[in-house]
Amino acid sequence: MPVLAILIVMSLSFYVFYKIKYIRSTRPAERQWISAKSRIALGLFVGLFGLNQLFLYHTTVTYIVAALFIIVGGFSVWGGIKAYKFYLPYAVKEAEELSNN
């Protein structure tokens, strides 16, 4: 499935992009907000990788490992979305305070 391969590479690229952005940021709330976005990207990577394995190999072990990857990736995306929503107002407030000074 070339579509899954493209999505896997894109999610890994976004993960690396957000981790670099996290390292360069100095504001605490913004760092947590960016970390949440990178957690979403990593969760998508893991989940899509597990989904891709279902199409490539057809063994019992593959099904078990792919299911674990999909579950772990889903929980990572879910936790990342919750953190993203939690830290977004703080990051906005922090950016507004910085622009006012």
**pLDDT given for residue 2 in this prediction:** 86
Token pair for 20: 């670099």
Where residue 97 falls among pLDDT bands split at 50, 70, 90? Answer: confident
The domain containing residue 29 runs over which residues? 2-100
Tell me what pLDDT residue 1 has. 66
- For 57-92, what is each residue's pLDDT tens digit? 889 999 999 999 999 999 999 999 999 999 999 999
Q: Which two tokens stand for residue 27?
A: 């504001």
- What is the pTM assigned to this prediction? 0.89
Indicate the number of domains in the chain: 1
More confident position, 100 or 49:
49
User: 14, exposed or middle or buried, with CB in 10 Å at 0-12, 13-18, 19+?
Assistant: middle
Q: Which letter does DSSP use for residue 57 in this model?
A: -
